[in-house]
Amino acid sequence: MNTLSFMSANFVARQLGYKMPGGWSQGDTATNDYFRPLATFGERFDAMLAEVVALGFDAIDLWAAHLHFSWATLEHIEIARALLAKHKLRVVSYAGGFGGNVPEFRAACRLCAALNIPVLAGGTGLLKPAQTSGDIRQLTGGNPDRAALVANLREFGLVFGYENHPEKTPGEILDRIGATDTDVIGVAVDTGWFGTQGFDGVAALRQLAPRLKHIHLKDVKARRAAKTGFQMIDMGHETCRLGAGIVGIEACLTTLAEVGYRGAISIEHEPEEFDPRDDVKASKAFVEASFRARVVPPKKQLRYAVVGCGNIAGAYATNLAPYPELKLLGAHDLDPARAQEFTKKFGGKVYATLDEVLADPAVDCVVNLTIHHAHVEVITKCLEAGKHVHTEKPIAMTYADAKRLATLARRQRRRLSCAPVTWLGEAQQTAWKLIRDGQLGTPRVVYAEINWARIETWHPNPAPFYDVGPVFDVAVYPLTMLTAWFGAVRRVTAAGKVVLPDRKTKDGIPYTVTTPDWQTACLEFESGLLARVTASFYVGNLSRTREGLEVHGDAGSLILDSWTNFASAVRFGQFGETAMPVPLVTEPYQGVEFGRGAVELATALREKRPHRNGAEHAAHVVEIMQAILTSVKTGKAVKVKSKFPAPAPMPWAN
């Protein structure tokens, strides 16, 4: 489901007590005047954000009048950043007019970069002038300079979506934005303005689909016969709750789904004469109901049971719940109370034993979330019983076991899909696309950092994690990603040791670490690429590179702030230049969507194609990890021999 965001311009008439006969500019001026004074900005911005959260939103489109690039000081921006964090609100777009010259546009870009706002949605005079007259927001006047527009967007890693007014048709919009630089320049469709212009919203969305950067979902009433004295209403732009007007919102939502739009959808409604909050709440419910109604379970769902209901199980169940292709049948844990608690919260029945799960013919697939050392036994039993398996990492602790499981899956004609799946994230797929597109030239050197701190400070059961060590527990993430991107590793040299052997659990129980808790490895890939991978359960949040990854090539370098966060910043720079942010290929999931591997497995089964997280690939990664530990022990280089089929990029990152 797309992110639903609250458009803060919905409050355009608020500072006028909802009496705005003078139209948009009257509300715009009053709002700027109200928010601009630094002394009261924090308190007023805080109150507005609290109202947005109270309406059930966790994302907002920040209208420029609430924090305008022409008056926002560093203090304003710092206050806004802290308040957005306090309310856990993500800004999905900056909305408004972004000036008529380069310094003004740069100021807007700087503000967006400071607040991690990915999209500017509105107008700018840097585009060539509109052919149509009557732009009510006077966004189009200025000094056209498309080259500067593009250069600034690229420099700040931003995307610009041009909003459709005063233009009356998609053709006029496409003419205005031009056919090039499609990665950074596109359209922010306002469905309400197409309604006012008498253009069919569905037809507009279809025509503009390849250039969609953002959506302002808005409904408008039919034009009134008599004049009211309210400028916007008399112009035929009387906004209303979604579904109550002439736009055909339901059909627009269906079209957005059909054209594969994955970005945020802003709920917009700016009445001149009343507070829109009740309507906005109803509109949000309308869109959510429409999403639910469109979710038709595929004829064949993948019915799954969870085995192992510990720390990560809740994240899986939450991630998988919205996907109709998967159906949770129940759960089993060695500790029955955990399975009880899990099923109470997420549904399904409690299976008393693993055998009971395997004897249930309704279960197609086991999602194995047991602790590391149980994986081989659980996976073996599941495959032997004819079940598909998606397993948490690592698939096994030795290459021999991993290979045996991959072979067993083939023999049984069952799928074995293996975490980690973080390389399927939007940021990670963006980075891979840069590499595949040749932006870096030939990549020759990688630095990957895994400074995973001290698990005992947060995990209630840290012993198994220390037993397997940071390589098997966490380095497995970047190793899976690097081998997906660059193919097989052929030689490993590593050094490390136990740097802090005596530790205590959160409950104060002492235990001794025997597997190296710090090591660094040099991997030599078949392609000739070299990677230095450092993994630690000692160094933590104070490191500048807790989970970073750099790829250096002949022509340029890319920097991924996090190999695990799907919304990580991705930066690229040509050799000798500064690395600047790159727009992600699509709207990212915020954080780690652990369930994405199980969804990929269900989709692959339905589409009768190989799944992306294959067991041979996972086994190759286990061979590398074993080689790292052997090299640490022996001080010698270790050869790696296994092969695996190259996985494909995600379809939306091709």
Ligand X SMILES: NC(=O)c1ccc[n+]([C@@H]2O[C@H](COP(=O)([O-])OP(=O)(O)OC[C@H]3O[C@@H](n4cnc5c(N)ncnc54)[C@H](O)[C@@H]3O)[C@@H](O)[C@H]2O)c1
Nearer to ligand X, 166 or 597 (CB): 597
Nearest to 9 by CA among 68, 78, 58: 68
Shortest Å, Cβ 90 to ligand X: 22
Q: Measured on CA atoms in the order 64, 68, 70, 75, is the torsion positive or negative? A: negative
Asked if 306 and 342 touch (Cβ cutoff 8 Å), the reply is yes
Shortest Å, Cβ 523 to ligand X: 21
Nearer to ligand X, 228 or 353 (CB): 353
Shortest Å, Cβ 350 to ligand X: 12
Nearest to 287 by CA among 231, 219, 193, 226: 219
Measure the CA–CA gap between 561 and 549, rounded to whole angstroms. 7
Shortest Å, Cβ 636 to ligand X: 29
Instruction: Please identify the residue of the shown chain whose CB is closest to the bound ligand X.
Output: 310
What one-letter code names the amino acid at 380? T
Cβ-proximal residues to 43 (8 Å cutoff; 6+ apart), any chain:
none
Asked if 233 and 272 touch (Cβ cutoff 8 Å), the reply is yes
Shortest Å, Cβ 407 to ligand X: 21
**Per-residue 3-state assignment (H helix, E strand, C coil) for 496-551:** EECCCCEEECCCCCEEECCCCCEEEEEEEECCCCEEEEEEECCCCCCCCCCCCEEE
List phi, psi (to 5°) of 556. Answer: -175, 180
Shortest Å, Cβ 380 to ligand X: 11
Q: Which position has the token pair 């585009």?
A: 127
Shortest Å, Cβ 537 to ligand X: 13
**Helix or strand run (H / E) with residue 390:** strand 388-391
Shortest Å, Cβ 455 to ligand X: 9
Nearer to ligand X, 10 or 319 (CB): 319
Shortest Å, Cβ 621 to ligand X: 13
Measure the CA–CA gap between 478 and 546, rounded to whole angstroms. 12
Nearer to ligand X, 5 or 451 (CB): 451
Chain centroid, CA 471 distance in Å: 26
Q: Tell me the two tokens of residue 480.
A: 């899976």
Nearer to ligand X, 79 or 354 (CB): 354
Measure the CA–CA gap between 379 and 305, rounded to whole angstroms. 13
Shortest Å, Cβ 307 to ligand X: 5
In this structure, are strands 518-525 and 388-391 parallel, antiparallel, or unpaired? unpaired
Measure the CA–CA gap between 528 and 75, rounded to whole angstroms. 49
Shortest Å, Cβ 243 to ligand X: 40
Measure the CA–CA gap between 264 and 93, rounded to whole angstroms. 9
Nearer to ligand X, 125 or 308 (CB): 308
CA atoms within 13 A on the CB side of 323: 24
Shortest Å, Cβ 171 to ligand X: 49
Q: Tell me the two tokens of residue 318.
A: 């939450």
Nearer to ligand X, 120 or 309 (CB): 309
**Helix or strand run (H / E) with residue 603:** helix 596-607
Nearest to 467 by CA among 542, 354, 374: 374
Measure the CA–CA gap between 91 and 80, rounded to whole angstroms. 11
> Helix, strand, coil proportions of the chain in percent (round to 5)?
40, 20, 40
Q: Tell me the two tokens of residue 404.
A: 């045996």
CA distances from 463 to 141, 451, 468, 535 (A): 65, 18, 9, 17
Nearer to ligand X, 246 or 334 (CB): 334
Nearest to 205 by CA among 222, 190, 221: 190
Nearer to ligand X, 192 or 308 (CB): 308
Chain centroid, CA 330 distance in Å: 28
Nearer to ligand X, 378 or 602 (CB): 378
Nearer to ligand X, 279 or 456 (CB): 456
CA atoms within 13 A on the CB side of 592: 15
Shortest Å, Cβ 311 to ligand X: 3
Residues that bind ligand X (CB under 6 A): 307-312, 332-335, 338, 354, 369-372, 374, 378, 392-393, 461, 473
Nearer to ligand X, 284 or 372 (CB): 372
Nearest to 163 by CA among 66, 100, 94: 94
Nearest to 310 by CA among 235, 372, 397: 372
Shortest Å, Cβ 592 to ligand X: 8
Shortest Å, Cβ 319 to ligand X: 12
